[in-house]
Structure 1
Amino acid sequence: MCSVQTVTTRNANIILFLIIILLFSFVSMIAANSAFMVTNKIYQGVSVGDIDVGGLSIVEAEQEIAAVFKERTSEATIALMYNNKQWRITAQDIELSINAGELARQAYAVGRTGNIIERLKERYLAVNQGYSLLLTVHYNYDKLGSELRNIAKQIERQPENAKLKPSRTLAHIGIFPEVVGRKVDLDKTIAAVTAKLNTHLTFRVNVVVEELMPAVVSNDLVHIDGLIASYTTHFDPWDQNRTQNVLLAAKSVNDILVRAGEVFSFNDIVGLRLDKFGYKEAPVYLNGVLVPDWGGGVCQVSSTLYNAVLLADLAIEERTAHFRPPGYVPLGQDATVADNQLDFRFKNTSLHNIYITGEVFGNQLVINIFGKQLENPPHISVIATDKRILEPNTLIKQDPNLELGKEVTDVEGQKGFLVSTHRIKKVDGKIVAREFLAADEFEPVDKIVRVGTKIPPNEQKK
């Protein structure tokens, strides 16, 4: 019984002791709070950033903040880093500033705003742990952006494809490695800078750079070890407009990788043949009539490529003959193209990537196709069969305005042709495949002659 009374008495003493402690703490809090209430200074323990303004009036705090900020910004720099390179931006470059008066007023408001619980909490933190406000800075966003764009110009570069490097004799193949492009992410870099400006005036930030991989890398070319097909056509270099068009189109199909199973589109690669892209007017057949048009001569490039593709034993997906047979390739071996209308397309049906080059040497256009050489490659040839000549008709038109019996030829007739083409594949001199390519008909152009029916006046009197 005595033991129970002893435990009860002990618990009562503990509770009494805790009550006394709470009373003293409450009295101390009331006393401290009363001390806060009677001062017109910023409460002790309050700072702006790391600038201590506790015990200062608003005016004194404003002066202190402004003085410290001025001293620090005189040598403050933002260091932008990339690949061991460094660029510096000063506070003056971006017009870095603060509103010292507003910051001082915010410091004075600590422990004086909000409900009683919020005020007591802020005062307690200020005295016991310290209460720090952000050193909010202002800067010229446009000037910061301008500084970063200038830095970006020194970092950025366009990606460049890996390229084949054939020797002059084409016996050896080297590779120019790719160049990885770089693009600065201005938004992310600015965000990284501004995130530190409120806590530091001198600091380092890494420029955020995105790497841009080119479409063709060295690994795409490693299996290409030699020339698998080549075709050459000739043109008149004195026809300047046509030559310009041939040069532009040849440049477009130069250094082109076609992956295994991929379909090549001439129109997609070369693009529109327009004046703004440098193309000139040169003669082309339009509805059977030779007229000047933009890009005349480009069809010689597509036709030269067509023949190289045939010799490389690749699959033809789309090919259209000209209205009239051109003179730079054998009959039936041409491939015409037209913007948004006629395309030349083929598929790389080999097991490896191929690489196309298109170059002009004097009056020669040369298309080469490089790929993986076979141990015993087939011999490919293109032959024309069932070749027929279609004779033109002569159309006589009477002309009452032309003297009787006089003849004038308005259109010189041209012969037409019918021709079928095949691709022949031989291995060890024996035909192993014969592929029908096309049956082309080039219609003849009729000869048109005007015959005069006008009777002279003296003959009419008789």
Structure 2
Amino acid sequence: MKKLYKVLSISLALSLASPTITFAAEDAAAEEQANEEAEAVEEEVVTDNRIIPNGISIAGTDVSGKTVTEAQDVVDAYFAAYDNVNFTLSANGQTISAKGSDLCIGAKNNYVTVQAATYGSYGNIAERFKANQDLAAGRTKDFSLSLGANYDGIVRYLNTASSQVNDEASDDYLTRENDQFVFHEGTAGVVVQIEESASLLVDYIENQWDGSDATVELATEVKEPRGSKEELAEIKDLIGAFSTDYSSSSSARKNNVANGVSFINGTILYPGDELSVLNTITPFTAENGYMLAGSYENGTTVETYGGGICQVSTTLYGAVREAELGVVTRSAHSMIVTYVKPSMDAAISESGSKDFQIKNNKNYPIYIEGHCDGSNVYFNIYGKEEDDPGHTVDYETEITGVNVQNTTWVADPNVPLGKMTTTVSGHTGYTARLWKVVYENGTEVSRDVYNNSKYNPSNRTVTVGIASEDANLSYAMLQAVATQDAATIANAIATYAPGVANSTPFTITPKYQVTNQTTTNNSTTNQAPATETAPATEAPAGTTEGTQDAPAI
């Protein structure tokens, strides 16, 4: 639009300087072009210095010699008189008090200033000729203003203001009490229909309003509660369950996990409904019940509100897999976590916009139950069992790649010769996939790739002491460390400090090794797309896992 504005500015300016003869097909487009240019001026907030000819007025106010921008000030002043007019918007037996400015009252023909500046350069040949002759002869031209209201602006206003009068429906719901479901009846609600009400207001202001204080009835719709006692009674079978251990976590981390679980506990999803874990449990603030807990950001330990919360989404992910619900969005962590196997995690990050979203792909409602006991996190998913009794699923992790982290060796003159200390533990990187294996009556019938995951490595740092009364030994050890070669450093320690006790290994043995996933003859194999989203980060239970991305949560 910006480029279009510049082109039109030149074109219309030339047209104003000297009338031209154009084809009839161009005539119909001239006013439309002027309108588009006016919109460009409004959107880009560009100063338009084209001068309006003598003898031109807008709504009776002489704008001769003014620029288009200056003339716009005249138009704005004309409609400013309506800014403080009171509108009473009624709905659902309640009212919203609005001002004319809230309803974006202004010129319906908002291109009038451009028309004034380009008078004589649009219309058919006869009209353009007459307009230019009139101007040359000193005859005046007055452009009228049409009262209007901006539809989009009213929609934005009502999206916020309608909450004053909306009475949202409360769906029928269940609670889980003493291991039994208890039914609770919902209530109907009345809500403002935003778009219909905006159209109604625009029509009233432009065609019926006399400019004085007014009352307008907004369009509303009765919203009935979803569900019924009979429908929710179908929720009785445990179709998915999963738990993870967080017993070694700090008290703050345990609080965050329990707090996040509480927001999800009791969720009912009807067929086709989706759940965003991020939207459900955020914001991560003290006001929302979260505490500061350790996490990593760019290799540095930081305290963040909600630290540990990814264990909530990961545990729910396990229950979702067992229930075979739909997964809309899932991301792996940046670094490997300890409380589940690779590719069994689901990371979330408010700052990184990483979410775990699920969908009820069943034919009946489901109920999500979550709780913590101080040592474990649990999620149970209840619904109606639709599969045959012989149908079971299993999930198998396959490690497809191992990327052992590098070690940075640092000489420490304050530590005894040859003494090694790990100051940054680092993490081995992995690529992994998760296989979903389906059995019918104990026979494998399919084997599909459920997800693909990538976990980044992070380097470890190990200090090596070089302090010694013998300067030659200190220098020799310093030279060995400078090579950054584990074998050279090991030989130096064995040679110059043979009696030193070290528990830090020279080489790293990864927790997981590459595995070879095979399929049976009666299985079908389908590949899931690799996870391409930038992974979120989180510290595992009881520790702080590293990250090279956003703060761990």
User: TM-score, normalized by length of structure 2?
Assistant: 0.44
> How big is the shift at 1:441?
2.9
Q: What is aligned with 1:391?
A: 404
Q: In 1, Cα distance between the equivalents of 2:249 and 2:470?
A: 51
- Quick one: which amino acid aligns to residue 415 of structure 1? T
**CA distance 1:285–1:413, change in 2 (3 Å):** closer
Task: Measure the CA separation in 1 of the matches of 2:377 and 2:236.
Answer: 23
| C-alpha distance in structure 2 between counterparts of 1:225 and 1:408, whole Å | 55
* Distance apart, 1:280 and its partner CA: 0.5
Larger proportion of strand: 1
Aligned to 1:260: 271
Secondary structure (helix, strand or coil) at the match of 1:308 reads helix
Aligned pair 1:224/2:235, yes or no?
A: yes
Matched, 1:240 2:251: yes
Match of 2:371 in 1: 359
Aligned-partner Cα distance in 2 for 1:405–1:239: 34
Distance 1:289 1:220 in 2: 51
> Do the aligned partners of residues 400 and 296 (structure 1) sit closer, same or farther apart at CA in structure 2, a change above 3 Å counting?
same
Alignment of 1:354-433 (within 5 A): 354-374=366-386, 376-377=388-389, 378-386=391-399, 389-397=402-410, 409-433=422-446
CA distance in 1, matches of 2:281, 2:316: 12
Aligned-pair CA distance for 1:284: 2.6
In structure 2, what is the equivalent of residue 337 of structure 1? 348
In the alignment, is the contact (CA less than 8 A) between 2:254 and 2:374 conserved in 1? Answer: no
SS of 1:306's equivalent in the other structure is helix
| C-alpha RMSD of matched pairs (Å) | 3.6
Pair 167,255 (structure 1): closer, same or farther in 2 beyond 3 Å: closer
Which residues of structure 1 form unaligned runs of 5+?
1-156, 184-209
Given candidates 169, 174, 178, the residue that maps to 1:164 is 174
Q: Which residue in 1 is equivalent to 2:183?
A: 175
| TM-fit CA distance, 1:364 | 2.4
Secondary structure of 1:267 counterpart: helix
Q: Secondary structure at the match of 1:358?
A: strand
SS at match of 1:350: coil
The CA deviation at 1:256 is: 0.9
Cα distance in 1 between the residues matched to 2:436 and 2:249: 34
- The 3 A distance-change label for structure 1 pair 217 and 301 is farther
Q: Mapping of 1:184-333 within 5 angstroms? A: 218=229, 221-236=232-247, 239-333=250-344
**Residues 397 and 451, structure 1, Cα contact 8 Å, conserved in 2:** yes
| Aligned-partner SS, 2:307 | coil
Q: How far off its partner does 1:333 sit?
A: 0.6
3-state SS in 1 of match to 2:367? strand
Following superposition of structure 1 onto structure 2, how do residues 85-96 of structure 1 map, counting pairs within 5 Å? none
- Distance apart, 1:286 and its partner CA: 3.0
**What code does the residue aligned with 1:347 have?**
K
Unaligned runs of at least 5 residues, structure 2: 1-166, 192-220, 474-553
Amino acid at match of 1:446: N
Q: Does 1:347 align with 2:372?
A: no
Which position in structure 2 is the counterpart of 1:440?
453
2:432 counterpart letter in structure 1: V
Counterpart of 2:366 in structure 1: which amino acid? Answer: I
How far the C-alpha of 1:299 sits from its partner, in A, is 0.8
Q: Hey, what's the Cα distance between the residues in 2 that align with 1:403 and 1:365?
A: 44
Give me the whole-angstrom Cα distance separating, in 2, the residues matched to 1:342 and 1:163. Answer: 29
Alpha-carbon distance change, 365 to 412 in structure 1, aligned in 2, over 3 angstroms: closer
Larger RCO (CA within 8 A; separation ≥ 6): 2
CA contact (8 A) 2:188 2:225 kept: yes
d(CA) in 2 for partners of 1:458 and 1:430? 71
Aligned equivalents of 1:457, 1:407: Cα separation in 2: 19
Given the superposition, is the C-alpha separation of residues 404 and 228 from structure 1 closer, same or farther in structure 2, using an over 3 Å criterion? closer
Offset of residue 290 of structure 1: 4.4
C-alpha change, 1:359 and 1:413, in structure 2 (3 Å) is closer
Point out the structure with max Rg over C-alpha: 1
Q: Deviations over 1:279-299 (max 9, x none)?
A: 101123434554321101211
2:399–2:430: 8 Å Cα contact kept in structure 1?
no
Measured at CA, do residues 425 and 286 of structure 1 come closer, stay the same or move farther in structure 2, by a change above 3 Å? farther
Query: Judging changes above 3 Å, is the alpha-carbon distance between structure 1 residues 279 and 216 closer, same or farther for their aligned structure 2 residues?
Result: farther
Question: Offset of 1:439 from its aligned partner?
Answer: 2.5
Shift in alpha-carbon separation, 1:403–1:427, aligned structure 2, 3 A: closer
Aligned pair count reads 277
Deviation at 1:446, TM superposition (A): 2.4
- Asked if 2 retains the 8 angstrom alpha-carbon contact of 1:315 and 1:347, the reply is yes
**For the structure 1 residues 312 and 332, does the alpha-carbon distance in structure 2 shift closer, same or farther, using more than 3 Å as the test?**
same
Q: CA deviation at 1:229?
A: 0.8
- Relative distance call for 1:169 and 1:425 in structure 2 (3 A) is farther
